[in-house]
Amino acid sequence: MDTGNNNYIKTILKGNFLPYGQNFPGNVPPTGRFSNGKLVPDFLASALGIKDKVPPFLDPNLSDEELVSGVCFASAGSGWDDLTTMMTRVITADKQIDMFKDYIKRVKGIVGDEKKGMKIINDALVVISAGTNDFGYNFYGVPTRRFQYTVDRMPEDAYSWFTSDGLLPLQMTAKFQNPLDRKCLEDQNSESKAYNDKLSNLINQLQTLLPHSKIVYADIYSPLLDMIQNPKKYSNSTKLPSTILIFGDSTMDTGNNNYINTILKGNHPPYGQNFLGHIPTGRFSDGKLVPDFIASTLQIKEAVPPFLQPNLSDDELLSGVTFASAGSGWDDLTTLATRVIPLSKQIDMFRDYIRRVKRIVGDDQEKTNNIITYCNITNFPSTILIFGDSTVDTGNNNYIKTLAKGNYLPYGQDFPGHIPTGRFSNGKLVPDFIASALGIKAEAVPPFLDPNLSDDQLLSGVSFASGGSGFDDLTTLVSKAIPVSKQIKLFRDYIRRIKGIVGEEKAKKIISGSLVVISAGANDFIFSFYDIPTRRLEFSVGGYQDFLLDRLQSFVKELYELGCRKVIIAGLPPIGCLPIQITLKFENPLYRKCLEDQNSDAQSYNLKLSNLIGQLQPSLPCSRIIFADIYQPLIDMINHPHEYESGIDGNNCYGTGKTMAKTSASSARLRQHHDESAIMRRRQAID
């Protein structure tokens, strides 16, 4: 995390010389980062649109703008244990807090207002990464702390990311003098995993003690181990692009309209007031555009130039340009009045670009192809496939014999057209919002059982979910809903149907590129364990959790065998706060409150699910499986209702009456508010 603080202190640990920084953007001298390029903080800041790179706090030339938008206090070689830094003289975690206090004073001085200063701090994203050096230097390498502690009794006051010490070359080199014998130290890896489990549990406990906080555990162990164990997955065949090529309208035009005869220009203030140098560039924005952020995040370049710029260098051409023109569109008629460049003409510019690239690289056809074949730098899914219960059933229960129906008012009262659709909500559901945000569907995800589905609707995705369903087939015995295990049969039928539409090869690509969302489990606990205690005769609560997770794991593996690669799995909500549970427990409405034991069970299930996903993904090559935490945002809405637009109170119900399904009309609006902001954060994770 240290972006250069060690440059400004007396320490032997420096990253300000080659080969450090050799791939850092801008061909600048090594910056003090212990990397060939950017670090995680830089990528995070760039992806969130905060800044291209995070400066070190100790840099004496920091501008006010750089300070207010964030800095790094980290110091390479540091740790939670002050003993770790005695030899290297780097900045301990305690001292970094002192630097942070100084930062707060400086920010308040810049904005000139105590409240504004504290708002900046309150809204800031804080990233913490330490712990490896403590084990590497104080326990394994120099066993000072081993005289005081066993490994499981090391101090646990770290709230950080923690990576595996056994994976670091330092540890392997210290253990194996013969390079041919070098391998990971499994005992140290095992201890890293044990630490991570404790840390994850600690964070769950800690957040409940800190109101209005959001503390997230980031697992870096699993992806790093996967890179080491499966290096071919991360070889040149899947390398990041080195060229970016952009087509479109004003959202993508970085200045082409400057060079054509059109009334649509962005080369005058207030355009560009927040761009580098505070000058208008032709971008229809106060600062950078999406292509610039993408190019920066992928370490291609800081900003994407327009193709029509007459003084483009060879390097600028080879690393990519934009052909976009503000005011453009697919229809040539759109551009008649404004005289901008329609998409059809942008292709002609692209052909000219290819000719120029060939002149630069010569007869090296392979190099030309390597540049051109990376035109599609994004890989967002074009199909969405949904499995689960009422939280994601968009209407399948309309077409089966079941008591669980959502095709009557007040369901659907806020849905487009104000009609009940079978969704157990007053409006749209999470799948609808995801599909819309990713540009997969214009409006909503249809149910697979709808007999009137068009080919286009099938190809862009459907929902197989059924209200009242679960992973346990016993859950649906009374309601006659479609259990998750039977939804896989519907999916097989879906595959056959799309093969009939587009052929086998294209169907395989559609399935492998699709986004799969799974949301189920709450009904299993409600109808098979708590309220109807059938499974309690067989299992403890922990045993039933493991039973459900085993069913879930088998389901995901079956999806994988059928070609699915991108999967989001939702955890459990606060089951003890669902109206059906509260109503059954408290007859007197004055005493209604959440059932903490059931909420605790949901949290422990979610922790197991998160850990399972970390173990499952490495066993399924080329897969991307993401855990979606829905517990925390929902419990935050319940505990702090006034922070959310619609509010929530004890009279809200899920479904019709106080003991119906799980998706309440009023909470659906809250979920929309949360999900629309969460969707954009997930888009990057999906790829």
Q: Which helix (H) or strand (E) holds 245?
A: strand 244-246
Quick check: 280 pLDDT over 70?
Answer: yes
> What is the model's pLDDT at position 504?
93
Least confident of 290-294, 516-520, 669-673: 669-673
Q: What is the pLDDT of residues 342-364, one digit of tens each?
A: 998 999 999 999 889 888 887 56
> What is the model's pLDDT at position 12?
87
Confidence class of residue 176 from pLDDT cuts 50, 70 and 90?
Answer: low
In CATH terms, the superfamily for domain 384-643 is SGNH hydrolase (3.40.50.1110)
Task: Report phi then psi at 414, rounded to 5.
Answer: -110, 10
The residue behind tokens 């540091």 is 78
Structure tokens at 507: 């169907």
DSSP 92: -
> What is the model's pLDDT at position 144?
66
Q: What is the pLDDT of residues 226-257, one digit of tens each?
A: 777 776 555 544 455 778 999 999 999 999 99
**Measured between alpha carbons, how far is 421 from 402 in angstroms, rounded to an integer?**
16
Confidence class of residue 462 from pLDDT cuts 50, 70 and 90?
Answer: very high
> Exposed, middle or buried by CB within 10 Å (0-12, 13-18, 19+), for 359?
exposed
Structure tokens at 453: 């589905």
Q: What is the pLDDT of residues 528-540, one digit of tens each?
A: 999 888 999 999 9
Q: Are 603 and 662 in contact (CB under 8 A)?
A: no
Q: Are 218 and 41 in contact (CB under 8 A)?
A: no
**Measured between alpha carbons, how far is 325 from 251 in angstroms, rounded to an integer?**
9
Task: Report phi then psi at 569, rounded to 5.
Answer: -115, 120
Q: Which helix (H) or strand (E) holds 597?
A: helix 596-616
Helices (H), 438-483: 455-460
Residue range 482-491: mean pLDDT, rounded: 96
Quick check: 373 pLDDT over 50?
Answer: no
Task: Report phi then psi at 386, rounded to 5.
Answer: -120, 135
The length of the chain is 687
Quick check: 382 pLDDT over 70?
Answer: yes
Neighbouring CB atoms inside 10 A of 105's CB total 10
> What is the model's pLDDT at position 448?
98
**Measured between alpha carbons, how far is 526 from 238 in angstroms, rounded to an integer?**
44
Residue range 278-303: mean pLDDT, rounded: 88
Quick check: 111 pLDDT over 70?
Answer: yes
Q: Where are the domains of the chain?
A: 5-158, 187-233, 256-361, 384-643
Structure tokens at 80: 């939670």
Q: Which residue has the higher pLDDT, 212 or 410?
A: 410
Quick check: 38 pLDDT over 50?
Answer: yes
Q: Long-range contacts for 308-316 (Cβ within 8 Å, ≥24 apart)?
A: 308/255, 308/256, 308/258, 308/259, 308/260, 308/349, 309/255, 309/258, 309/259, 310/259, 314/360
Nearest in space to 283 (alpha carbons), one of 253, 311, 308? 253
* Strongest mean pLDDT among 39-48, 223-232, 393-402, 619-628: 393-402
Helices (H), 36-113: 40-47, 64-69, 93-111
Q: Which residue has the higher pLDDT, 661 or 65?
A: 65
Quick check: 684 pLDDT over 60?
Answer: no
* Strongest mean pLDDT among 1-5, 45-49, 673-677: 1-5
Structure tokens at 452: 């009137």
**Measured between alpha carbons, how far is 361 from 500 in angstroms, rounded to an integer?**
44
Q: Is the backbone of residue 514 left (phi > 0), alpha (psi -120 to 50) or beta?
A: beta
Residue range 67-96: mean pLDDT, rounded: 89
Nearest in space to 495 (alpha carbons), one of 537, 450, 527, 448? 448
Structure tokens at 392: 């994601």
Q: Are 130 and 158 in contact (CB under 8 A)?
A: yes
Alpha carbon 262 to its chain centroid, in Å, reads 40
Structure tokens at 492: 């097989």
Task: Report phi then psi at 321, rounded to 5.
Answer: -145, 175
Confidence class of residue 567 from pLDDT cuts 50, 70 and 90?
Answer: very high
Q: Are 23 and 37 in contact (CB under 8 A)?
A: yes
Task: Report phi then psi at 628, rounded to 5.
Answer: -105, 115
Q: Is the peptide bond before 410 cis (omega within 30 degrees of 0)?
A: yes
Task: Report phi then psi at 93, rounded to 5.
Answer: -60, -40
Q: Which residue has the higher pLDDT, 373 or 268?
A: 268
* DSSP 3-state of 273: coil
Quick check: 320 pLDDT over 90?
Answer: yes
Structure tokens at 94: 């305690």
Structure tokens at 269: 């203030």
Average pLDDT, the chain: 83
Q: What is the pLDDT of residues 422-458, one digit of tens each?
A: 999 999 999 998 888 788 887 899 999 999 999 999 9
Q: What is the pLDDT of residues 631-664, one digit of tens each?
A: 999 998 888 888 765 444 444 444 333 333 333 3
DSSP 55: P
